[in-house]
Each structure stands twice: as C-alpha cells, then as structure tokens.
Amino acid sequence: MLPRFDAVIVGAGAAGLFCAGVAAQRGLRVALIDHSERLAEKIRISGGGRCNFTNLEADRPDRFISRDPRFARHALRAYRPDRFIALMQSYGISWHEKHRGQLFCDDSSERVIEMLRTECDRGGVHWLRPCAVQEVAQSDASGFKLHTDTGEIACTSLVIATGGLSIPKIGATDWGLRLARQFGLEVIEPRPALVPLTFTAQSWEPFAALSGLALEVDLSLPERPDAPRFREDLLFTHRGLSGPAILQGSSYWQAGEPVAIDLAPGRDLGQALTQARDGTRQQLGTVLSAVVPKRLAQTWLADAGVAALVPAAPGGAAVSERRIAELGNRTLQALASRFKDWRIQPAGTEGWRKAEVTAGGVATAELDPKSLQAHRIPGLYFIGEVVDVTGWLGGYNFQWAWASGWCAAQALPKR
C-alpha cells in the first residue's frame, strides 16, 4: 500500500525543519524530504558558525523586500522573535546580542540544528534523506503523489521549503521554483541578494590594493529614493566592495545603477576642512587621514576624479600633497561634498556563489499570507526563502523561515 502522510515537506533547512516539528507535534503524520546528506547547512555556516538566528526587530515588515511589502506582515506578527527565543531557552541554548538587534548563539550553530531535529523527533516526523523527488503529481483523491528515490508516497498537503539559489556548493537548487512553475504559479525572477558588488578590472585597479581595509560608511542608492540608507561597515576586496553596508544595499541595487557612499558619516567635513585650513601647514592627504585610513585617503584623492576641483600646483604636486592652507574654502567644500557623496557604478555582483540569500521567488500574490497556501492549488504551500520575501542582513531571513514555517504548520489540515 502506498505510504500516505498528512503532509510532506520538501526541504530540511530552517523553514522546513521548523514547520515539520510544529506540524508533527500538532498530531499530523509528517514526512520530511531532503536531497542532501548533511542537515541544514545554511544554519550550520550562519554567523561564522554561531547562527544569527533572529533579530529583535525582525517583526517589522519594512525590513523585508517583496513585490508586496505588506505580505509578510501577518506571519511576522503571528510568530515574533520572542517566541523563537523562548524555544531556544527551553533547550538551554544561550545567546547574545551582537549588533543592532542581531542575536547569535553563544555556542555552535549545531545546537540550533539539534534543537530543530529534536522537535521533529518529538512529533514522530518520518525522515527521508538523502532523497530526491523526481516528480510531483496532483491527485483529486489523495492530494499529491511524489515519485522519490525511495519510492512513491502520497500526501494531503505538500509544503515546499527548498530555499533559493544562493550558495550552490551546499546544495542550493531551483527545484522549488520549477515546481511552482509546473503548477502555473508566477515566479519573480530570482537574483542574488546580500551579495558583494564587483567592478570592472580597469575601474577598480587603483582600489584593489586596499583589499582588506574596512571602515564605517553611509550607503544609499541615489536612483532608488525609497531604498533605506544604511550605516554599516564597508570592506574593500580585490574585485570590489563587500561588508554589511554593501550587502544590505545589494538587495535593492539593480544593474546599471550607481551607489553613493558617505565616507565621513555623521561629520560636517566641509567645516572640518575649512577650520583645518587656518593655522596649519598639513597636507590635504594628512588631514583626510584623520577621517579615514591613510591608504584610502591617498588613493581616493588620486583617483576619485577630484583633480579637476583642485587648482594645479607649482611643480606638479599630487592632490594629496597639496597643503590645505593653499586651497580656498570653495575648493575644500567641493572636496568635502565629493567625499561624502562618492558615487561609483558597480559592474555586477559576486553572484550566487557568495550571495547569502535569494531575492525574488514564488510571487506573494499566489499565496495566502496567513497560511502560505497557494490560492489556486489547495494543499500546496511555499515557505521560507523560496517565497518572494527577502529580509535585511542580521537574522531577518531566519525569522521569516520560522514565521512562515509556523503559519503553514498551523494551517495544515489533519485527515
């Protein structure tokens, strides 16, 4: 006789594991399928191995990107961060706040994985892993029939929690998106998000030597006035820019658009330069080195297109070598404006290989926000990263996994 379950969940990552445990402890007969031998690799590598499992502000819908920014509101408020924190505490897993509401385990990410595995086992979840799903067919009589590596199984409800395309080396695939298209659901074209930005080799040549240098900046997208302005650390790499500021902005950035970087956030640099002009014989590069690392000051002055702002000096001295007392207030103000609004145009991103999450996915218009069930395909649910909901850096995407998984688990019907 064909094995039959109340619910089959495909994908044993954060959303799938959590959904399976909650649904099974409600009394449903649940099977959890995953093609990977290792469980929840994305949890394992998160936060440098300490799992940035949520954020204290992760119940705010404005911290998420989607074609419909209101869609995530119900799930995020139905299952708030404090509920997952309470679950962690019930398992004796200690945690700390690292930065701006970001919560990390004091110990290893493995503690979170073991907690989720135990929650599944307490509910009697039937594990099928490693196991690939070859085909899914809808059945009027039994809901869905799945052809897998280990044989055929049937279920009343099918939950897709296969994630996105980011970090393919740990097993990411587009299986969930292909299944959505198979059933005629709209898919927002996926793209890498929370990802470093790259530049052409020629344009980045002067800055490549700064690889490894980091500083706090304000980052904005001048062609996207609705996008947030992020004050975070910026990291120079051999190929471009990374660090939290860039990762945050990358989720909003589109190809062909510039980014604007304030290298002296929170400071009136124009006033500082004009004040430094009186009573000092310091060079311009030396004065700017008090604001940013010296190597950046020298490189920026040499290559940021500021030479035209500074009158030529006798003997052809470099801009950074000009004494600040020799420069007029108008010149210094122009330099300060450029420094606080450094506009550069990336050529692209580091792609799926280094993207932390996927933007895009199953269109939210296809899903019920309270249950995550497809409007047109009763019994078919999509949760987690496979849905067109993308959170900020810092625990937001894990909270979406917990919240969407919980809402789907509550909505799954018993036979």
Q: Please, are residues 358 and 166 in contact by the beta-carbon 8 Å criterion?
A: yes
| Cα–Cα distance, 219 to 233 (Å, whole number) | 10
Contacts of 22 (CB under 8 A, 6+ apart): 119, 123, 405, 406, 409, 410
3-state class of 186 per DSSP? coil
The DSSP letter of residue 169 is G
The DSSP letter of residue 345 is -
The radius of gyration of the chain from alpha carbons, rounded to an integer in Å, stands at 25
pLDDT tens track of the chain, all 415 residues? 789 999 999 999 999 999 999 999 999 999 999 999 899 999 999 999 999 999 999 999 999 999 999 999 999 999 999 999 999 999 999 999 998 999 999 999 999 999 999 999 999 999 999 999 999 999 876 799 999 999 999 999 999 999 999 999 999 999 999 999 999 999 999 999 999 999 999 999 999 999 999 999 999 999 998 999 999 999 999 999 999 999 999 999 999 999 999 999 999 999 988 888 876 778 888 889 999 999 999 999 887 666 667 766 555 567 778 888 888 888 899 999 999 999 999 999 999 999 999 999 999 999 999 999 999 999 999 999 999 999 999 999 999 999 999 999 999 998 7
Contacts of 182 (CB under 8 A, 6+ apart): 136
- Render 10-64 in DSSP notation, one character per residue: E--SHHHHHHHHHHHHTT--EEEE-S-SSS-HHHHHGGGGT-EEEETTTT-GGGE
3-state class of 390 per DSSP? strand
Half-sphere exposure (Cβ direction) of 376: Cα atoms closer than 13 Å:
11
User: Which residue in 38, 50, 89, 81 sits closest to 63, CA to CA?
Assistant: 81
Q: What is the pLDDT of residue 209?
A: 94
Q: What is the pLDDT of residue 131?
A: 96
* DSSP run (H or E) holding 398: helix 396-411
Cis amide linkage into residue 130, ω under 30° from 0:
yes
Beta-bridge partner residues of 103 = 54, 97
Q: What is the pLDDT of residue 33?
A: 98
Q: Please, are residues 353 and 168 in contact by the beta-carbon 8 Å criterion?
A: yes
Contacts 24+ apart (CB under 8 A), 116-121: 116/14, 116/17, 116/18, 116/21, 116/40, 116/43, 117/17, 117/39, 118/91, 119/17, 119/18, 119/21, 119/22, 119/25, 120/17, 120/20, 120/21, 120/24, 120/30, 120/32
Q: What is the pLDDT of residue 374?
A: 98
